[in-house]
Amino acid sequence: MTNNFPPPKPIPSVSKYSNLKKLILLTGFLSFLLLFVTSISISEANDFESLLNDLGNKSRSKIKIAVQKLGELGNTDALPALNALKNKHLSVSEEGKLVILNDSETEGVGALDGKKIDITSLKLRKPRINNSVRRHLSTALAKLKLNSKDRAVRLEAAQELLKRSSSSVLALVETSLEKEDNEDIKEVLLLVLAKIHLQGIDKNKRIESINTIKKFGNNDFYSVLEELLKKNDKGEFFEKDSEIRESAASAINSIKKRQVFVDQIANLFYGLSLGSILLLAALGLAITFGLMGVINMAHGEMLMIGAYATFVIQNLFLQYLPNLFDWYLIVAIPISFLSSAIVGIILERFIIRHLYGRPLETLLATWGISLVLIQTVRLTFGAQNVEVANPFYLSGGVEVFNGVVFPYSRIAIIVFVVFVVTAIWLLLQKTSLGLQVRSVTQNRNMASCMGISTRKVDMWTFGLGSGVAGLGGLALSQIGNVGPELGRMYIVDSFMVVVLGGVGKIAGTVAGALGIGVINKFLEPISGAVLGKIIVLVLIIALIQKRPQGLFALKGRSVDN
């Protein structure tokens, strides 16, 4: 049984103890380190907090120092408080707590945590600042904003600096320029530098500045450059250096040239945008005019109905599905189409059908319909304009050039119109309804003899045309307010599109609409909007002297009546 010895108790080894010691030591050290670090950061945070609280100090000089230091610290958390101080929305409670008030000063949030504070029980005082503080404030704000991670905030800060550049921000701009990796912001910062250097004495730097302005500058730099070319009473230049004067002149020239180019691009874009809306408005008009030879004066009201349908859908979403609000527009597309189309079909069935062969009477009757529709909408929704909000994906825009913004809503409309026109074209060319529509357009009697139910074709086509106008209304609701008179504003222009483009071919309507839209926008800056319209009208009358049936008439031998 010698084997049955209890196993020897393990002897605690020395090394084990030393390990424990080390562990304790390490823990102690680490915790000490941790304590140290936290204490530093706490002291920094305390520093930040106390500085921030100093903004509410009664002494202006302390506010000033706090503002300066906050700017140097570079902590963007201070932005709301500084902004509030600038806009006089910052106030202090008796305990020294900073509160940011809203515009109407009915609600407030804490400056540090952004939490809502009940201000009714608080006795608030506003820190008073003077111009000297305000100057420091702007600089500090600019500094903090240039440090921001948000690209848009940085860009805004840079543009703010450009507006009121002074040599005091030189260092700030230079350091930000080094860090900056966004080209747009870099450009603006370079311009700020150029503006500052231009006021300096170093000739090389001045010329370099002028070149920078020449490269990136916009219209705002005219006055700066023209200052360099001014003469005094004796006819001598204020600016003695001819080299600088020459480069300034050439910079002015190239800015002007660029501006003209940019303006043309903007005109083209806005012209296309107007044209595409006109196209939506006129497409249905042209199809029904080609098909039945009647002008529907109530067609503008189909736009209005589409726009109000969008408005109603928006409100329904706001009420019942606020989470999905941004997608109301997608739902509104079929609804606006259908509501206008249904109204159109009703009109066709009950009124226009009975006036077949009497186009002028149809014109008057549809005018009467439009009066009734407008008045109905006015009594239902009120005579005031209503607002339809852009969903987030259509708000804002893309800046194509310096100062030229293409709103997303307008870009979306152009894309949408391309889509609709393609759909209509496919419908007319590739479906049996399209074939019937085309045959009735060409020769109603013959088509009828071939067994086509012209009445049915009329009805569906009228509904289709009205529905397209409804889509136009949806598009219009995204770029402006919606009112009972919405249709009236576009109807005369869309008639002109039909006159210009001729009937029976989509290409004619497209050319007419885009042509009128673009010409209008190009004439506007030259002659003013009103004269532009008149010129367009005269041009149209002149044009139909040459081509009475419009630009793209159907070829055929039919006698005009």
Partner 1 sequence: MIKQIISLHSFRGWFFIFGLFFAAIILLPVFNIFVPEDSLLHVPDYMFPLLGKYLCYAIVALAVDLIWGYTGILSLGHGVFFAMGGYAMGMYLMRSIGKEGVYKSDLPDFMVFLDWKELPWYWYGFDYFPFALLIIFLVPGLFAFIFGYFAFRSRIKGVYFAIITQAMTYALMLLFFRNDTGFGGNNGLTDFKRILGYSLQDPSTKMCLFMMTVFLLFLSYVISRYIVKSKLGRVLTAIRDVENRVMFSGYNTLHYKLFIWTFSAFLCGLAGALYVPQVGIINPSEMQPANSIEMAIWVAVGGRGTLGGALLGAGVVNVAKSWFTVAAPDYWLYFLGILFIVVTLFLPKGIIGISDRLKKNKDREILND
Contacts with partner 1, residue ranges (CB under 8 A): 289, 293-295, 351, 354-355, 358-365, 367-372, 374-375, 379, 492, 495-496, 498-499, 528, 530-531, 533-534, 537, 540-542, 544-545, 548, 559-561
CB of 283 to partner 1, least distance (A): 16
- The distance of Cα 440 from the centroid of its chain, to the nearest Å, equals 44
CB of 458 to partner 1, least distance (A): 16
CB of 505 to partner 1, least distance (A): 17
Q: What H or E segment, with its residue span, contains residue 291?
A: helix 242-292
CB of 145 to partner 1, least distance (A): 44
CB of 550 to partner 1, least distance (A): 9
DSSP conformational letter for 553 = P
Identify which of 462, 482, 297, 260 has the alpha carbon closest to the alpha carbon of residue 373. 297
CB of 490 to partner 1, least distance (A): 12
CB of 284 to partner 1, least distance (A): 15
How far is it, in rounded angstroms, from Cα 275 to Cα 250? 37
Query: Whose structure tokens read 């504070």?
Result: 117
Question: Of 194 and 365, which has the nearer Cβ to partner 1?
Answer: 365
CB of 549 to partner 1, least distance (A): 9
Question: Of 101 and 499, which has the nearer Cβ to partner 1?
Answer: 499
CB burial of 304-317 (b: ≥16 within 10 Å; e: otherwise) equals bbbbbbbbbbbeeb
How far is it, in rounded angstroms, from Cα 461 to Cα 465? 6
Q: What H or E segment, with its residue span, contains residue 99?
A: strand 98-101
Query: Whose structure tokens read 């009664």?
Result: 58
Question: Of 369 and 428, which has the nearer Cβ to partner 1?
Answer: 369
The two tokens of residue 539 are: 């041009």
Question: Of 327 and 350, which has the nearer Cβ to partner 1?
Answer: 350
- Report the length, in residues, of the chain: 561
CB 521 within 8 A of CB 277: no
CB of 544 to partner 1, least distance (A): 6
- What percent helix, strand, coil does the chain show, rounded to 5? 70, 5, 25
Question: Of 142 and 295, which has the nearer Cβ to partner 1?
Answer: 295
Question: Of 321 and 372, which has the nearer Cβ to partner 1?
Answer: 372
CA angle centred on 15, ends 11 and 20, rounded to 5°: 105
CB of 533 to partner 1, least distance (A): 6
For residue 297, the tally of other CB atoms under 10 A from its CB is 21
Question: Of 294 and 510, which has the nearer Cβ to partner 1?
Answer: 294
Contacts 24+ apart (CB under 8 A), 314-320: 314/388, 314/389
Q: What is the DSSP string of 400-431?
A: EETTEEEEHHHHHHHHHHHHHHHHHHHHHHHS
Question: Of 318 and 360, which has the nearer Cβ to partner 1?
Answer: 360
Question: Of 127 and 284, which has the nearer Cβ to partner 1?
Answer: 284
Integer-rounded Cα Rg, in Å, for the chain is 35
Question: Of 396 and 525, which has the nearer Cβ to partner 1?
Answer: 525
How far is it, in rounded angstroms, from Cα 34 to Cα 41? 10
Residues near 348 by beta carbon (within 8 Å), at least 6 away in sequence: 458, 459, 462, 463
Pairing verdict, β 98-101 and 108-110 = antiparallel
